[in-house]
Amino acid sequence: MKTTRIKSGILAVLAVFTIALSAHAGKKPIDVKKSTIKWVGKKVTGEHNGTINFKEGDVELKQGKLVGGSFTVNMNTINVQDLEGEYKGKLEGHLKSDDFFGVATHPTATFVITSVEGNTVKGDLSIKGHTEKKAFTLTKKGNTISGDVKIDRTKFDIRYGSASFFDNLKDKAINDEFELSVNIVF
């Protein structure tokens, strides 16, 4: 009788331990409704900002630490927040056009994590049919991963208004880099 109680107790402890470990391991889908991407694009005479939404994604955790993941962004959701009315619509349309992200042909962008060392995340970023290696810092706090990243758009064949490729743009030049603030909830 005593042996049966001990075995039952050990099995109960093992079950609780297994459940606790599984809560900290494996792939977890991101919450696309709560996760956000904010963008800023700058030019000589100012800047514009807005949001873009995740389509889907997952994070891979091991012992509570980020070890992998993949994310897909819905490029059709490009939203300009600093303009209204006609000018908002024009800029959103231009950003979705072939001059910039070519959304009709490339409706998604992706990032696949290839390695994580501390807070440094490395992976393959694909935009507009071009893939580049990218590394940046992400911070995990609870069920949220966040960070800021700068992306050189010219590496993805987005050259419109770039002084790196066109002369005499003067105050019409647009910075090659755009900034993203990413907040991923899982």
The predicted pLDDT at position 17 comes to: 41
The backbone torsions φ and ψ at residue 184, rounded to the nearest 5 degrees and listed phi first, read -110, 125
- As a whole number, mean pLDDT of residues 12-32 equals 61
pLDDT at 13 over 50: no
Give the mean pLDDT of 120-139.
97
Whether residue 168 is predicted with pLDDT greater than 70 in this model: the reply is yes
Q: What is the pLDDT of residues 86-102, one digit of tens each?
A: 999 999 999 999 999 99
For the chain, give every domain's residue range. Answer: 26-185
Domain 26-185 has CATH 3.40.50.300: no
pLDDT in tens, 169-186: 999 999 999 999 999 999
Q: How do residues 145-164 score in pLDDT, each as one tens digit?
A: 999 999 999 999 999 999 99
Q: Give the residue from 178, 186, 136, 138 showing the smallest Cα distance to 35.
A: 186
Residues 161, 97: Cα–Cα separation, whole Å: 14
Q: What is the pTM of this model?
A: 0.85
Query: Could you tell me the pLDDT band of residue 66, with boundaries at 50, 70 and 90?
Result: very high
Quickly state the pLDDT bin for 7 (edges 50, 70, 90).
very low
pLDDT at 54 over 60: yes
pLDDT value at position 18? 40
Other beta carbons within 10 angstroms of residue 24's beta carbon come to 11
